[in-house]
Amino acid sequence: MNRAVAAARMQTVHPLVSLGLPWAIVGLSFAINLIVWRVGDVAAQSPGDGSTGGLGSLYATVLVIFIQAVTHMFPLAMGLSLSRRDFFAGTALAAVVQSAWYGLALVVLTVIEDATNGWGIRLHFWAPSFLHVDNIALQFLVFAVPMLACAFLGIAVGVVWKRWGTPGIYALLLISLLLAGVAAIWITWLKAWTEIGGWFADQSVSVLTIALPAALIVVLAGLAFQGLRRTVP
């Protein structure tokens, strides 16, 4: 356990990158949206509360950070005689702790956003309407579980990169594109787009942001660990 904790601490060797960069990027996105909303008086020109997709930049950056967590730190971990199991456990622990931290911070920002009526201009940046729930504990999970899924996706992609290099990444992209294309053709042939869209529309926020990402986490964790066991530094 101590070695896994040591592996987790490796992910904070450069805190300005691993912890500061995601907030810098999403903070810049928030500042831009805030200025546009205020200067353009967007709230006065549209009914209801305004939402943007700017929060997605935080999740995308965390994904990239955890790709780097594997590609940059795995050779160092092997050099320090950490086992692959310890490295994976430590990186997973770092993902859990960071996702919890992000979830808590986003809940606080959401409370402030609600209390100020969207920063005084009805801008709901940190909790867009489709992610906003009234229960604080549930709101935490709505933020944290998808964040953890992004972290594990980053770990899995990082393992592909370390094991198979650039050809592996190209192969992953091509396979993903092929599967998406086959699925789109199949759904179109069945004329099932309406049914699938209706199914997603009928699901609760908890299913879409907690249950489905949690299932994805289990799959990605299993695949990443199996791949890492055969990866060389």
Q: Is the dihedral of CA 206, 207, 208, 212 positive or negative?
A: positive
Helix (H) or strand (E) holding 117: none
**pLDDT per residue over 99-123, tens digit each?**
999 999 999 999 999 999 888 888 8
Which SS3 state, helix, strand or coil, does residue 51 take? strand
Amino acid at 232: V
Confidence of residue 159 (pLDDT cuts 50, 70, 90): very high
Q: Is the dihedral of CA 110, 113, 118, 123 positive or negative?
A: negative
Q: Which two tokens stand for residue 21?
A: 């960069």
Catalogue the long-range contacts made by 143-146 (C-beta closer than 8 Å, 24 or more residues apart): 143/102, 143/103, 143/106, 143/107, 144/99, 144/100, 144/102, 144/103, 144/104, 145/99, 145/209, 145/210, 145/213, 145/214, 145/217, 146/59, 146/209, 146/213
Q: Please determine, for residue 74, whether its predicted confidence score (pLDDT) is greater than 80.
A: yes
Please give the pLDDT value at position 47.
61
Lowest mean pLDDT among 12-16, 84-88, 189-193, 228-232: 12-16
Q: Which two tokens stand for residue 64?
A: 């990239």
Alpha-carbon span 197 to 200, nearest angstrom: 5
Give this prediction's pTM.
Answer: 0.93
Q: Are 133 and 204 in contact (CB under 8 A)?
A: no
Amino acid at 115: A
Lowest mean pLDDT among 56-65, 74-83, 91-100, 142-151: 74-83
